[in-house]
Amino acid sequence: MSGHGNPIPMTASKSGGLKGTAHIPGDKSISHRSLILGALAVGETRITGLLEGEDVLDTARAMRAFGADITDHGDGKWSVHGVGVGGFAEPEAVIDCGNSGTGVRLIMGAMATSPITTTFTGDASLRSRPMGRITDPVSLFGARSYGRTGGRLPMTIVGADNPIPVHYRVPMPSAQVKSAVLLAGLNAPGQTVVIEQEATRDHTERMLTGFGAELNVENTKDGRVITLTGQPELRPQTITVPRDPSSAAFPVCAALIVEGSDILVPNIGLNPTRAGLFTTLRDMGADLTYENEREEGGEPTADLRVKFSPNMKGIEVPPGRAASMIDEYPILSVVASFAEGTTTMKGVKELRVKESDRIDAMARGLEACGVKIEEDEDMMIVHGMGVGGVPGGVTCESRMDHRIAMSFMCLGMATQKPVSIDDGGPIATSFPIFEPLMTELGAQIIRTTP
């Protein structure tokens, strides 16, 4: 829901070695998709390990408003009685997706080819984010949209009465846009084709296939071509949501920079479209190993063993890797601050339109902590100060962005003086147990009075 109540200022201070096992909550991307595809199947989908963060709970509320019957059985177990492709009812009230770009964009796609009208809104962060990237392709199916200037929320979408399938080349690397077009294509007769230049996370494709849709993926010189046959009957599934590598990134990176750390992070999905951060950290010389490598639910999975790594070196992160670690650049910029030499991140302009402008948010906060940063529209360079070299001692803005808030908290565990944030409330959108989990490992994080 919009807003997070009163701000929750927090402070992280130099921590003794992090030790123990970090059990990470379910994957946010897969949790959203489980609820939405469950709502579009006929019959009961059972989900275990659902992420019960605010973003996903907003998607569950939205799916109920479209007519799905959703039950929370406790302990991460949920069931969804779906209404079938084309079966969405018209919601009686405005759909509030809170802070979640994934939630609102996927749901817009999913309803755009049904003859219903829906108005969407979200919190101040979501209302500032571009939705034209969804309304452009859904208009090709025949949907109409009426939003604020610049394609911002609140926005009303009038779904297409007689949708036509589309052929769409996604203009930016975005799994949200790709997924919205595929979900819209579900209720269009015939074949919808989506082409992406670079591979982005492929959970929608994997799950659509699992739910019984006919979907074909071909890697061509033009890019990744995905062809979906519309109007399938989706079969309900039993889904075990893997643990989120994007959340695992925070304890992993904290352990690398906090002296004396040695932690185990079990059962982390290493889908190649998501695991770019771990490859990058290893390239920098991080003591990060994969134990017990295996396949779980069709996804490569491992337990991560992470130890304090005093000799990491800055690198140039290959731009072709950006899509596979797009949510991890904020925490990578923290690790880079403690490496020797410069870390260059190019091809990252999508960071400017996330929950906040993540280049600006990290650059300003790191600079305030004493780190030299260079940036342009599509790039950020961090001049590393080596282990123990970052002064800290300031309050950074979290800008309604969970990943910015958690990145600065991890930073403060290794800086000379404590680092504070103005508001840790947004952390609950994706990683509601961040504070107790990190504290249990030995991190010094406290809530402070404003």
List residues near ligand S3P by CB under 6 A.
29, 102, 174-176, 179, 200-201, 326-327, 350
- 174 or 247: CB nearest ligand S3P: 174
The candidate with the shortest Cα–Cα distance to 385, out of 396, 374, 371, is: 371
Instruction: Give least dist CB 200 to ligand S3P, A.
Output: 6
- List residues bridging with 395 in a β-sheet: 420
The pair phi, psi for residue 116, each rounded to 5°, is: -135, 160
Instruction: Give least dist CB 367 to ligand S3P, A.
Output: 24
Catalytic residue of the set 202, 244, 287, 327: 327
Which tokens belong to 222?
Answer: 């033009």
- 400 or 441: CB nearest ligand S3P: 400
Rounded Cα distance between 291 and 264, Å, is: 9
Annotated binding site for 3-phosphoshikimate: 28-29, 33, 174, 176, 327, 354
Instruction: Give least dist CB 239 to ligand S3P, A.
Output: 15
Angle between helices 276-283 and 245-257 (to 10 degrees): 20
Instruction: Give least dist CB 375 to ligand S3P, A.
Output: 19
- 51 or 160: CB nearest ligand S3P: 51
- 50 or 326: CB nearest ligand S3P: 326
Cis, peptide link before residue 154, omega less than 30° from 0: yes
Around 151, how many Cα atoms within 13 Å sit in the side-chain half-sphere? 12
Annotated binding site for phosphoenolpyruvate: 28, 101, 129, 176, 358, 403
The candidate with the shortest Cα–Cα distance to 388, out of 284, 282, 304, 312, is: 312
Instruction: Give least dist CB 32 to ligand S3P, A.
Output: 6
The verdict on whether 75 is a catalytic residue reads no
Instruction: Give least dist CB 100 to ligand S3P, A.
Output: 9
- 201 or 243: CB nearest ligand S3P: 201
- 95 or 414: CB nearest ligand S3P: 95
Question: In this structure, are residues 407 and 434 in contact, taking their beta carbons and an 8 Å threshold?
Answer: no
Nearest residue to ligand S3P, scored by beta-carbon proximity: 29
Q: Which residues are known catalytic residues?
A: 327
